[in-house]
Each structure stands twice: as structure tokens, then as C-alpha cells.
């Protein structure tokens, strides 16, 4: 008679993924954002893993969570394992005949910078599907199913980054509004428009170009930069323009930059690709087109 005893079960994959993300990102909330779940779900997963292990992996404190000695010891092994899993998934996708390139981009970048370049990409790669997903924060290309990401942020200096353009800012507005703006101090009587992601833009520009300017935080805010830009065109107020995003509108004359001071933000428009050993010819061609 055959004997088929029940085999010991390992911890759920989701619990391991939650622990690795929380350990790498320094907290349950950050892990939840990356994994698209709630912090409570991350906490429950890690608690279940700790019960399976029979020891704590995190210390819970009032100011946050910290890895225990055991957690610190094992976390790098899980990070390496999930990196390898992500690499294997990308490799199997690269070998299939169905070619879909997934691009993640900041919403403003997707709408104002990437969208005008998509026709040229489609023309060059008629057999390839180009999928664009707008995200507020860059994805983890080692784990998530994206081939490329395009975001404005501080360069990390990795081999997979390509700097497209330095991020420069200056006030922009409708041509009619620009007539009354001769010097930065003239902005005091105007309405400031704000993008919620770049809430510090006005302070960055004014600290160098108009230190005595008041009321920088006043005025309406927008969760989509493209809407804020349209409102600036419509005469609703003055928006801090990011050169890489507003340059087409400036060239058309839809908006004006009344001052010549373009202020660096220490950020850049960055194109990043997943760390495949050998990127596909489609990805290589898209990168070349985007950098042209």
C-alpha cells in the first residue's frame, strides 16, 4: 500500500513578498504602496510569516518598525530571490512572439512629453504593442512588469538610467497675462497655480529669483499638471512651468515665459530600463527614439 503523508507547507508567497518589500523599503506603508495593498494587509502577512517562523522579524515601535537581528540577516536573501524571479519573468516575456512593451510614466510626462512621441514609435515598430501606464511614483523595474519608466526625479546614477533632460522651471502664463509682468515682483498681484506633486516649485524658483515674494502657497492646486497648464493658458493664473513639459506650448505661443530665469531643481527627466542581460531590439529601438 502506498504511503502519501502530508508534506510540510512553507509560508505563502504573498507573506514573503510583503516581508521583503517592508524590509527593503523601511516600513509597512512603503511596502503597501509598492504592492498595491493596504498597510494593514502587509502587517497581517508579516504577522502570519512570523507565526510560521516562530520569531519576530520586525520590532514594532511608536515611531515605526525596525528589523530584528533575524530580519536583518535574512532580508538580503529574499531580495536576491525576488530579483531573480523578476528577471526570470522578464526573460520569458522577451522570448514570446507577442511583443508588448510596457512603459510607466508620470502622468504629466505621459500626457505632455511621451504622447507626442508615440506616433513615431508606432511607425518604427508596427508589430509591437506599446502600453503606457501613468503612475505617481516610479515602479520597481526589478519586480514589476514594466520595460521602461519615464519620470522626473533625482538621478540615482545606475547603469540603466538615461538622462533625457535637466529639469528647469520658470513661471508661465497666457500671453495676455504676460503683458503685465515686467519683473518677478509683479507676480505679487497674480494668482499662483500649483501642481500637488511639485508643491515646492514656487519656493525653489523664488528663493533665487524673487526672495521677497509673498503668498507663494496661495492659489488653486491641481492633481494633474496638464490641467494646471490648460488653466494657465486660459488666464486663470501663473503656473511654474517645467521646461521639458511646457516647451511645445511655448514654441506654439500658447503660453509665455515672462522672465528669462530658468531655475534648476536638481532633478531630471529620466528614462530607465529594466535590467535585462540583453534588452530586446524593440526596447533598444524605443530608447533610441526617445533619446533622439
DSSP 8-state assignment for residue 132: E
207: its cell numbers: 528663493
Question: In angstroms, rounded to a whole number, what is the distance separating the alpha carbons of residues 110 and 254?
Answer: 20
Residue 229's nearest CA partner among 256, 208, 202, 209 is 256
Q: What is the pLDDT of residues 153-197, one digit of tens each?
A: 999 888 889 999 999 999 999 999 999 999 999 999 899 999 999
What is the predicted pLDDT for the residue at 289?
95
Mean pLDDT (whole number) for 61-71: 91
Domain assignment present for residue 105? The answer is: yes
Supply the range of the domain harboring residue 69. 13-92
Domain assignment present for residue 141? The answer is: yes
Last residue of a domain, one of 92, 110, 130: 92
Within this chain, do residues 84 and 214 fall inside the same structural domain, yes or no?
no
What is the predicted pLDDT for the residue at 14?
93
Within this chain, do residues 149 and 277 fall inside the same structural domain, yes or no?
yes
Q: What is the pLDDT of residues 85-96, one digit of tens each?
A: 887 877 777 666
What is the predicted pLDDT for the residue at 277?
63
Last residue of a domain, one of 92, 116, 142: 92
What is the predicted pLDDT for the residue at 8?
77
Please state the domain count of the chain.
Answer: 3
Residue indicated by cell numbers 493596504: 38
Question: In angstroms, rounded to a whole number, what is the distance separating the alpha carbons of residues 75 and 95?
Answer: 31
Within this chain, do residues 286 and 154 fall inside the same structural domain, yes or no?
yes
Question: In angstroms, rounded to a whole number, what is the distance separating the alpha carbons of residues 161 and 154?
Answer: 11
Within this chain, do residues 175 and 127 fall inside the same structural domain, yes or no?
no
What is the predicted pLDDT for the residue at 276?
67
Last residue of a domain, one of 63, 92, 121: 92
Residue 24's nearest CA partner among 134, 142, 135, 105 is 142
Dihedral Cα 142, 144, 148, 153, nearest 10 deg: -80
Could you tell me how many residues make up the chain?
A: 292
Within this chain, do residues 157 and 286 fall inside the same structural domain, yes or no?
yes
Q: 3-state DSSP call for residue 101?
A: strand
Within this chain, do residues 64 and 84 fall inside the same structural domain, yes or no?
yes
> 175 to each of 10, 130, 195, 209, 229, how far by Cα in Å?
65, 36, 21, 21, 13
Q: What is the pLDDT of residues 69-115, one digit of tens each?
A: 999 999 999 999 998 888 787 777 766 655 889 999 999 999 999 99
Within this chain, do residues 55 and 28 fall inside the same structural domain, yes or no?
yes
What is the predicted pLDDT for the residue at 97?
55
Q: What is the CATH number of the domain that holds 117?
A: 3.40.190.10
Within this chain, do residues 237 and 252 fall inside the same structural domain, yes or no?
yes
Domain assignment present for residue 3? The answer is: no
Amino acid at each position: 500500500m502506498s504511503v502519501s503523508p502530508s508534506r510540510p507547507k512553507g509560508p505563502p508567497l504573498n507573506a514573503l513578498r510583503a516581508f521583503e518589500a517592508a524590509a527593503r523599503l523601511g516600513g509597512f506603508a512603503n511596502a503597501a504602496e509598492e504592492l498595491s495593498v493596504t498597510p494593514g494587509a502587509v502587517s497581517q502577512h508579516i504577522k502570519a510569516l512570523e507565526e510560521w517562523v516562530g520569531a519576530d522579524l520586525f520590532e514594532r515601535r511608536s515611531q515605526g518598525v525596525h528589523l530584528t537581528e533575524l530580519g536583518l540577516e535574512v532580508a538580503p536573501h529574499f531580495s536576491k530571490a525576488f530579483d531573480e524571479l523578476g528577471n526570470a519573468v522578464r526573460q520569458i516575456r522577451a522570448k514570446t512572439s507577442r511583443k508588448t512593451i510596457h512603459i510607466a510614466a508620470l502622468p504629466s510626462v505621459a500626457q505632455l512629453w511621451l504622447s507626442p512621441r508615440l506616433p513615431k514609435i508606432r511607425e518604427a515598430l508596427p508589430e509591437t504593442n506599446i502600453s503606457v501606464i501613468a503612475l505617481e511614483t516610479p515602479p520597481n523595474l526589478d519586480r514589476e512588469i514594466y520595460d521602461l519608466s519615464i519620470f522626473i526625479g533625482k538621478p540615482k546614477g545606475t547603469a540603466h538610467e538615461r538622462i533625457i533632460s535637466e529639469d528647469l522651471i520658470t513661471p508661465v502664463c497666457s500671453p495676455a497675462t504676460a503683458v503685465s509682468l515686467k519683473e518677478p515682483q509683479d507676480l505679487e498681484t497674480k494668482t499662483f497655480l500649483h501642481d500637488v506633486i511639485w508643491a515646492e516649485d514656487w519656493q525653489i524658483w523664488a528663493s533665487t529669483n524673487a526672495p521677497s515674494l509673498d503668498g507663494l502657497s496661495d492659489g488653486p492646486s491641481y492633481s494633474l499638471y496638464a490641467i494646471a497648464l490648460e488653466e494657465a493658458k486660459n488666464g486663470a493664473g501663473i503656473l511654474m512651468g517645467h521646461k521639458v513639459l511646457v516647451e511645445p506650448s511655448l514654441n506654439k505661443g500658447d503660453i509665455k515665459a515672462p522672465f528669462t530665469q530658468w531655475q534648476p531643481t536638481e532633478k531630471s527627466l529620466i528614462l530607465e530600463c529594466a535590467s535585462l542581460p540583453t534588452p530586446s531590439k524593440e526596447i533598444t529601438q524605443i530608447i533610441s527614439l526617445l533619446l533622439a
